[in-house]
Amino acid sequence: MQTKYLSYLVAALLAVVAQGQTQPNIIYILADDLGYGDLGCYGQQVIQTPNLDRMADEGIRFTNHYTGSTVCGPSRSCLLEGKHSGHTYVRGNGMLQMREDPHDFIFPRALKEAGYHTALIGKSGLGCNTDDASLLYKKGFDYFFGFTSHTQAHWYFPKYLWRNHQGEVTKVEYPNNTLHDGDNYSSELVIAEALTYIEAQQDGPFFLHLAFQIPHVSLRAKEEWKAKYRPILNEPPLPPRKKHPHYSYEREPKTTFAAMVSYMDYNVGLLLEKLRELGIAEKTVVMFASDNGAMEEGGHQRASFNSSGELRGGKRDLWDGGIRTPMIAWWPSMIEAGRETDHLSAFWDVSPTLLELAGAKPQEDTDGLSMVPVLLGKGDQGAHDYLYWEFYERGGKRAILKGKWKMILYKTNTDLNPRVELFNCQLDPSEQNNVAAQHPEVVSELQRLMDDAHSPSEHQQFKLAAERQ
Is the Cβ–Cβ distance between 98 and 89 less than 8 Å?
yes
Domains in the chain (CATH in brackets) are 23-376 (3.40.720.10), 387-467 (3.30.1120.10)
d(CA 294, CA 290): 9
What is the percentage of the chain residues whose pLDDT exceeds 90? Answer: 86
d(CA 145, CA 164): 7
What would the pLDDT profile of 381-431 be if each residue is shown by its tens digit?
Answer: 999 999 999 999 889 999 999 999 999 999 998 888 999 999 999 999 999
What is the percentage of the chain residues whose pLDDT exceeds 70? Answer: 93
What single letter denotes the amino acid at residue 230? R
CA 7 vs CA 232, 334, 335, 359, 362: distances in Å: 52, 14, 16, 16, 20
Question: What pTM did the predictor assign?
Answer: 0.93
d(CA 256, CA 301): 12
Q: Which residue has the higher pLDDT, 192 or 129?
A: 192
At a CB cut-off of 8 Å and minimum separation 6, what does 452 contact? none
Is the Cβ–Cβ distance between 71 and 341 less than 8 Å?
no
Q: Which residue has the higher pLDDT, 313 or 6?
A: 313
> For the chain, what is the mean pLDDT?
93
Judged on CB neighbours under 10 Å (0-12, 13-18, 19+), 124 is buried
Does residue 14 register a pLDDT over 50?
Answer: no
